[in-house]
Amino acid sequence: MNTPFSFSAVGTITTPFKQKFAIPRQPNLARAKGQIHLYPDYADPQVFKGIDGFSHLWLLFVFHQTMERGWKPAIKAPRLGGNATLGVFASRSTHRPNPMGMSVVENHGVKIINGQPVLNVCGVDLLCGTPIIDIKPYIRYADSIEASDNLDHYAPIPHRPVSFSEQALPQLHQHSQRHPDLAALITAVLQQDPRPAYRHKNLDDEKVYQVLLYDLDIAWQVRESAIIVQAIELV
Ligand code: SAM
C-alpha cells in the first residue's frame, strides 16, 4: 500500500535570488549566501549542536514555486543537446512526484539573532523563501564517490566573460556598499549565460535581459560572446 506521509518545513531560507530565472542549476556554481531561519517549534539552539564540525551540509527543500504544476515522467535536457529527454528519476528536474530538492552547501556557522539561531550557508541554488524540510551534515566517506559516472557528454555550462558598462560601474560601486559580494555574485551568475538554451547559439543578442538579485534589477546583454552588464537599479 502506498502510505501517505505528511511533512512540514522546519524553516525557510533567505537568498539573493528573488526569481527563478538565472538561479544556477546546482549548488556551488556561485558563492551565493543563504540564511536559514527556523520556525519556532525547531528554533532550539540544541538542534545545531556539533554542526560546526561539518564544513558542508545537505539541505533538503521543497520546490515550492513550481509544485502546483505537478510532475512530468521525462524532461527535456538542454545540456544533452536538442530535444533529448531524461526520465524524472534520472534527472534533477524540479517537476517531481514529490517536489523535493537537495543541495550541498558550505556551512558558514550559526549566529544567534534576536535570540534565535540562524544558520548561514554559502553556494545556494535556492529561491529566496524556499521551505527547508531538513538539514543534514555532508559526510565525505559516504557522500563523495570518486568513481561515479555523470553523463560526461553533458554540454559544459557556459563560462562567458562578464564586464560592466560605464553606466553600470558607478551603480555597482554604490550598491556594493550594502552587498559587498555583489560584483562576484553578478559575475558568477551571468557567466553561466542564464538565457534559455535555444538562445545560446546567438552570441550577439540585442535583447536586454533582466535578473533580480537582492533588491536589485540587473540589466545585461550578450555581445560578441561576452556578457555586458548595462545597468544595476533598485527594484
Ligand atoms: N540542487 C537541487 C537538486 O538537485 O535537487 C536543485 C536543482 S534544480 C535543477 C535548480 C533549479 O531549481 C534552480 O536553477 C531554480 O531554477 C529552481 N529552484 C530553486 N528554488 C526553487 C523553488 N523554491 N521553487 C521552484 N524552483 C526552484
Residue 152 confidence class, pLDDT cut points 50, 70, 90: confident
**What pLDDT was estimated at residue 164?**
98
Percent of the chain past pLDDT 70, that is, above it, reads 100
Ligand 1: nearest atom to the Cα of 100: 5
The C-alpha cell of 179 is what? Answer: 552587498
CA distance 155 to 158: 9
25 C-alpha vs ligand 1 centroid, how far in Å? 7
Instruction: Judge contact between 51 and 119, C-beta under 8 A.
Output: yes
Is residue 202 helix, strand or coil? coil
What is the distance, to the nearest Å, from the Cα of residue 76 to the centroid of all Cα atoms in its chain? 20
The arithmetic mean of pLDDT across residues 107-130, rounded, is 97
102 C-alpha vs ligand 1 centroid, how far in Å? 9
Is residue 109 helix, strand or coil? strand
Q: Among 63, 75, 100, 133, name the best residue to mutate to test ligand 1's pocket (greatest count of ligand atoms within 8 A of Cβ).
A: 63
166 C-alpha vs ligand 1 centroid, how far in Å? 33
Residues with CB under 6 A from ligand 1: 20, 23-27, 63-66, 92, 94, 101-103, 125-127, 130
pTM over 0.85: yes
The C-alpha cell of 33 is what? Answer: 549566501
**What pLDDT was estimated at residue 182?**
98
**What pLDDT was estimated at residue 198?**
85
CA distances (Å), 126 to each of 8, 72, 97, 160, in order?
Answer: 18, 21, 19, 22
Ligand 1: nearest atom to the Cα of 130: 23
Residue 82 confidence class, pLDDT cut points 50, 70, 90: low
The arithmetic mean of pLDDT across residues 82-106, rounded, is 94
Can you say whether residue 193 is alpha, beta or left, with left for phi > 0 and alpha for psi between -120 and 50 degrees?
left
**What pLDDT was estimated at residue 27?**
97
Residue 63 confidence class, pLDDT cut points 50, 70, 90: very high
The protein residue with its alpha carbon nearest to ligand 1, atom 17, reads 20
**What pLDDT was estimated at residue 154?**
79
**What pLDDT was estimated at residue 45?**
83
57 C-alpha vs ligand 1 centroid, how far in Å? 17
Per-residue pLDDT of 20-57, as tens digits, reads 999 999 999 999 999 999 999 999 989 999 999 999 99
**What pLDDT was estimated at residue 234?**
98
Q: Among 13, 15, 19, 23, name the best residue to mutate to test ligand 1's pocket (greatest count of ligand atoms within 8 A of Cβ).
A: 23
121 C-alpha vs ligand 1 centroid, how far in Å? 16
* Strand residue runs (E) in the chain: 11-14, 33-38, 56-62, 74-76, 85-87, 100-113, 116-122, 131-137, 162-164, 205-213, 216-223, 226-234
The C-alpha cell of 73 is what? Answer: 515522467
Q: Is the pLDDT of residue 93 over 90?
A: yes
Ligand 1: nearest atom to the Cα of 101: 5
